[in-house]
Structure 1
């Protein structure tokens, strides 16, 4: 039992659980941002364009209701709405992440002077330049 507790303590303290918790918290916050973008920004124009068409009640009736039996129907409308919502959410996430990646790429580019390059990227760029110079010198010596 003591070994189990020590293993759990090592797992929790070394950051695995903390990193996972931070990821879940950020994921939840990002989910809220995406939901607001979809519900408040993307969906209203779509509802305007489609004149408020709702697919949720669409169904394919296999047997109509009677006094002795209930209606049997395949409700495909709600599936269509969920698929459209998924497509809109996926496209919104793609667009947001594409914008974030563009800013990250600008920050990681040591030649871009508009955005301050992080120190680790500057050091890597310097090392890359030194390695290129070293390889050029070695090629001259071999020739």
Structure 2
């Protein structure tokens, strides 16, 4: 059984998967930073820094007026936090768009790298040896 486990781990697809997970985790950090540190501030400029995170309805319990979502939860109130959900959806769409753009760029670079070198156009160099021999044979037949 130990040998079977070693064989399983040594297979290329398991190692590829492990590398993919590690690279995926690093890629997640890059995309998260890009969204949080670059894209969201730019969007914030255009939307006036709108943040829906603290939008909620109190389902039960007492919450002071204007309290943040965190304060409402700390007070033990049951809240319908639609703002947090809306921000999660917006962040998902932004992250999905960034990943789409990055994958598209990587695919374009990969396609350019795999593109074969341009083949030089075929240059006519004259008749081949076979063509000349056929002409000689035909000329001999015609003579006689």
Does the pair score TM above 0.5?
A: yes
Q: 1:25 aligns with which of 6, 22, 26?
A: 22
Q: Distance in 1 between matches of 2:41 and 2:78?
A: 33
- Runs of 5+ unmatched residues, structure 2: 64-75, 120-144
CA shift at 1:81, angstroms?
Answer: 0.6
CA shift at 1:7, angstroms?
Answer: 0.7
Q: Distance in 1 between matches of 2:33 and 2:60?
A: 40
Relative CO higher for 1 or 2, CA cutoff 8 Å, sep ≥ 6? 2
Q: Please say if 1:92 is aligned against 2:92.
A: no
The TM-score with structure 2 as length reference comes to: 0.66
Match of 1:61 in 2: 58
Q: Tell whether the 8 Å contact from 1:47 to 1:53 is kept in structure 2 after alignment.
A: yes
Change (3 A) 1:8 1:95: same
- Runs of 5+ unmatched residues, structure 1: 114-143
Larger radius of gyration: 2
Q: Distance in 2 between matches of 1:58 and 1:109?
A: 52
The TM-score with structure 1 as length reference comes to: 0.66
Match of 2:28, SS state, is helix
Cα root mean square deviation, aligned: 2.1
Which stretch has the larger CA shift, 99-108 or 13-22? 13-22
CA shift at 1:106, angstroms?
Answer: 1.3
